[in-house]
Chain A
Amino acid sequence: MASEVIEIKKQAKSTFKEEVMKILPEGGNLNLCLTCGLCSSGCPATGLEDMDPRKFLRMASLGLDEEVLNSNWAWMCTMCQRCLIACPMKIDIPALVFNVRNRWPKETQPKNIRGSCDMAFKNETCSAMGASEEDFKFVVEDVLEEYQEAQLEFAEMQAPIDKQGAEFFLNQNSREPVTEPDEMVPLWKILDIVGADWTYGSKGWAAENYCLFVADNEMWEKNVRLKAKAVDDLGCKVWLNTE
């Protein structure tokens, strides 16, 4: 794609790329680019913001830190790793993007992602929609009762919450209990039919973790640890996160 030539006004040295390389295994191979363009040719974000993965990496290599760190493109790359799998040198461009997101001040990050990250800690549920332990318990029990009564084959079906020692701890995305609770039911039925020993947890039940998307390392770890603790506290063997 033809675009304007970027003039480098002074001999710049990338400090940002060097910093990112220090924290990635093998430095993310960020110095190994052959400029072949396999990354960009298979990237759906190519062309957005007049940017593509190769250009993003080249700009970082050329020390255009300000341009790289301020590019809105970092929020348009989904970090899907299609470029990484295609790259003959296995350059971790998604990790570069992640660390650009990380450098954005909280108040300038996309406010809905940031808000969903922060909301997860309003309760001990990790729900990005702010649903509490009581909200979740009420919806699950209400929906279960309705189906037990209406569908006779499932009169004995359970959707346990806080069942100590269950084999599987199942997370649930907030969207279902909050906006379309009937969508929880088909999975309950499948678990019922196979006789799975499973449970939800009143704490840490929500599957989502938006803190990963704003690249907030402290907060995404906190989110994961809250959920992991909920699994451990119930003594469950397997943690099923459907995200």
Chain B
Amino acid sequence: MREGKLKVNSDWNRDLKVKFTVQDPCQLVRKSLGDPIAEDLRFIVKTIVGEENFVDMAPNRSNNFCCGGGGGFLQSGLPEARRYYGRLKFEQIKATDADYCITPCHNCHSQIHDLKEYNQGKYETVHIWTIMCLAMGILGENERTYLGPDLVDVNPYPS
């Protein structure tokens, strides 16, 4: 994006004003590349959804709370404990009032999606590539599984 190879912007969301937050993956940020990659993540998200439509969770970046999907918790056969662990993450997402939580990590995606279903939350859980392709107008019908009713028909492709 910085080299101009990916021409992507947030025009699609200028009037829609759909709000996004992002889960900083522990593995990517705190445990690997630190706050600089958290800044890269925000650069990408703000570019594709619009800076005014991005709301950070608190705490965030290296201080972010784990969602409870990591370390094998999703496969451990301890769903009650996992969802108790995740209640803080659910509350943090809820507090942003975001319509979507972008999860750059596979485990975060599964856990945050499950927390929404379990707690009957109102946010949707999406991979970053889904919103990037939506913004570029190249997201096909079958690539919209995780979009909510508000976005499922936005920027259809092929148009």
Contact = CB atoms under 8 A, between A and B. Distances in A.
A78 B26 contact: yes
A189 B138 contact: yes
Interface of A: 42, 44-45, 47-49, 72, 75-82, 85-86, 110-113, 116, 147, 150-154, 173, 175, 180, 182-183, 185-187, 189-190, 193-195, 207-208, 210, 213-214, 242-243
Given A193-B6, A243-B106, A76 B143 contact: no
Contacts of B82: 76
B158 A151 contact: yes
Interface of B: 5-6, 26-27, 30-31, 62-66, 68-73, 75-78, 81-82, 84-89, 105-106, 127, 129-130, 132-133, 136, 138-140, 142-143, 145, 157-158
Given A75-B78, A147-B140, A189-B133, A110 B26 contact: no
A60 to B, nearest CB: 19
Contacts of B139: 186
Contact of A44 (B31, B76, B85, B132): B85
Given A110-B76, A113-B76, A242-B106, A81 B143 contact: no
A76 B81 contact: yes
Contacts of A45: 85
Nearest to B31: A81
B30 A85 contact: yes
Given A173-B106, A186-B143, 7 more contacts: A44-B89, A75-B78, A77-B71, A79-B71, A82-B65, A86-B63, A213-B75
A78 B68 contact: yes
A210 to B, nearest CB: 6
A152 B158 contact: yes
**Residue of B65, B85, B136 with most partner-chain A CB within 10 A:** B85
Contacts of A186: 127, 129-130, 132-133, 139, 143
Given A190-B132, A193-B5, A182 B142 contact: yes
Nearest to A45: B85
Given A44-B65, A78-B73, A195-B5, A110 B143 contact: no
Given A182-B142, A189-B133, A213-B72, A243 B88 contact: no
A116 B73 CA distance: 13
A150 B143 contact: no
A94 B25 CA distance: 16
Contacts of B88: 44
A81 B157 CA distance: 42
Contacts of A78: 26, 66, 68-71, 73, 85
